[in-house]
């Protein structure tokens, strides 16, 4: 039976007797209303008992629909506050190769984002309270463009033991994420040519060009970036722990070749360690920076471990670049906000950050294993680490069209090449960080269905 429901200030056409079931019809109607703005963020939905009575459906059906939409992120439910429409993001935060995301899909397996629902809110609140309680009054004034000494000191210890980075506090500059770090460095290098991995994040190439630099592709194969292909470029940007998007880990011989190139040419290696903490087959591979700290700029971020909303990243610089980057930071935004820096320092010093990273590593490994189990014998690559995998397919366009029809969002290899070509390898870049725990198996079911057509 078709019906209209206007109990939330927006008239919604519902199809409780839809071919795919009453619950699916209710989910679809609410989902569409949230997407097109008829249900505004913060709108309160009626209780399941009232909704069921109005529509002539069971309360269990109404509750199941609400639960599904909460799991997908369209609604929020809190004890004592009822069910409300969530505030959906309109722009993708710091994700390799990201452009602004359009309307939210039903199932999101795009790469680059963590499970933000796993943000350690209680631990962060405790750290924030302790940081504010102990912060000197000068912490609320303008500060050092390099960042708070408390965070730089905490990062010095953490990066040394967790990532093998030689990081004295005086060589660390705190940024508002990886993108700002890359932009600052490009300005300091004053238009120098940067070699960037091919395939690699298109958005990062845009950042370099936007800030006056130029980019040159450098080939990536099954052993990682091909250092022998480097020429007269002044710098090369690499993702050695887990290459984006192929997922390969830089081979030891390539690591040596890359650092040999830097020493021989006086070149600079820019190490993007965007998800280096997440390794599943052994201990995380140490950062490249430890092999040649005088020739490597190490860029890290809290975006994958905690969440992009914090806007906290860091650069570990060779001594000769510290002052120039700090000056560029000063003239960019003076300094990154202070309170978040103090809270992150407290989180690291209390080891709550380590505990959170370990819990995330276990969570993402379970998801990785579920992905492998669900896709069976299909060729899946780049699975030893990170938050995404590469699935080989013969025809990206056809698979992506089927995925879109199913409400499934995916990344694909074609969007990451420096220049398109008919003979380019094709594949799906499947992220397994974004979906909520409850909806992830359903997303995998849809992915398998889409791939079954190949």
pLDDT of res. 17? 52
Which structural domains are found in the chain, ordered by start? 3-85 (1.10.10.10), 107-118+358-451 (3.90.1150.10), 121-353 (3.40.640.10)
| pLDDT band per the 50, 70, 90 thresholds, residue 366 | very high
394: tokens are 């013969």
Least confident of 98-107, 149-158, 168-177: 98-107
Residue 178 near residue 302, CB atoms below 8 Å? no
Instruction: Read off the pLDDT of residues 384-427 as tens digits, 9 standing for 90 and up.
Output: 999 999 999 989 999 999 999 999 999 999 999 998 776 788 99
Residue 441, classed as helix, strand or coil, is helix
Q: Are 403 and 410 in contact (CB under 8 A)?
A: yes
Residue 334 pLDDT greater than 80, yes or no? yes
pLDDT, residue 418, reads 93
Lowest mean pLDDT among 17-26, 236-245, 305-314: 17-26
Cα–Cα nearest to 270, from 193, 162, 348, 343: 193
Dist CA 335 CA 383 (whole Å): 37
Query: How much of the chain, in percent, has pLDDT values that exceed 70?
Result: 91
Contact 317, 147 (CB under 8 A): no
The token duo for 200 is: 């690699």
Two tokens, residue 118:
């796993």
pTM for this predicted structure:
0.77
For residue 443, what pLDDT is reported?
93
Q: How far is CA 329 from the centre of its chain?
A: 23
Tokens found for residue 281 = 């087959």
pLDDT tens digit string along 54-110? 787 888 888 888 888 887 778 888 776 788 888 765 433 344 444 444 457 889 999
Distance, CA of 14 to CA of 313 (rounded, Å): 46
Predicted confidence (pLDDT) at residue 111 exceeds the cutoff of 60: yes
Q: How many CA atoms lie within 13 Å of 75's alpha carbon, on the beta-carbon side?
A: 26
List C-alpha distances in Å: 253 to 190, 239, 258, 383, 447. Answer: 31, 15, 9, 21, 36
Contact 416, 243 (CB under 8 A): no
Structure tokens given for 430: 């499947």
């Amino acid at each position: 039976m078709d019906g209209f429901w206007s109990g939330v200030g927006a008239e919604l056409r519902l199809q409780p007797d839809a071919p795919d079931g009453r619950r699916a019809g209710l989910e679809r109607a609410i989902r569409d209303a949230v997407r097109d703005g008829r249900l505004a963020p913060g709108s309160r939905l009626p209780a399941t008992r009232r909704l069921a009575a109005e529509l002539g459906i069971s309360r269990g059906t109404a509750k199941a629909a609400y639960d599904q939409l909460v799991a997908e992120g369209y609604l929020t439910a809190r004890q004592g506050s009822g069910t409300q429409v969530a505030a959906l993001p309109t722009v993708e935060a710091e994700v390799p190769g990201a452009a602004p995301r359009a309307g939210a899909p039903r199932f999101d397996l795009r790469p680059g984002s963590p499970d933000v629902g796993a943000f350690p809110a209680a631990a962060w609140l405790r750290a924030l309270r302790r940081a504010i309680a102990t912060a000197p009054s000068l912490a609320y004034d303008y500060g050092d463009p390099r960042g708070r000494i408390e965070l730089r000191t905490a990062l010095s210890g953490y990066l040394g033991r967790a990532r093998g980075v030689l990081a004295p506090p005086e060589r660390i500059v705190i940024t508002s994420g990886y993108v700002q770090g890359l932009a600052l460095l490009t300005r300091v290098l004053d238009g120098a040519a940067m070699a960037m991995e091919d395939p690699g994040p298109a958005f990062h190439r845009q950042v370099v060009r936007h800030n006056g630099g130029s980019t040159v592709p450098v080939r990536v194969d099954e052993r990682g970036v091909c250092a022998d292909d480097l020429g007269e470029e002044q710098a090369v940007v690499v993702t050695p722990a887990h290459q984006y998007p192929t997922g390969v880990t830089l081979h030891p011989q390539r690591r040596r070749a890359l650092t040999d190139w830097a020493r021989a040419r006086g070149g600079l290696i820019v190490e993007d360690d965007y998800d280096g903490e997440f390794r599943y087959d052994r201990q995380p591979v140490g950062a490249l920076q430890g092999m040649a700290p005088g020739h490597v700029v190490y860029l890290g971020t809290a975006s994958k471990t905690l969440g992009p909303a914090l806007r906290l990243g860091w650069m570990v610089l060779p001594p000769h670049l510290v002052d120039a980057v700090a000056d560029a930071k000063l003239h960019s935004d003076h300094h990154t906000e202070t309170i978040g820096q103090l809270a992150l320092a407290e989180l690291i010093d209390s080891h709550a950050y380590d505990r959170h990273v370990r819990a995330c590593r276990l969570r993402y490994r379970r998801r990785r294993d579920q992905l492998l189990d669900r896709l069976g014998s299909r060729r899946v690559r780049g699975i030893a680490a990170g938050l995404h995998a590469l699935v080989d397919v013969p025809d990206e366009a056809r698979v992506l069209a089927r995925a879109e029809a199913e409400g499934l969002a995916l990344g694909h290899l074609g969007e990451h090449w420096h220049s398109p070509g008919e003979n380019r390898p094709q594949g799906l870049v499947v992220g397994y960080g974004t979906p909520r725990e409850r909806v992830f198996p359903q997303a995998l079911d849809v992915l398998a269905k889409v791939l079954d057509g190949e």
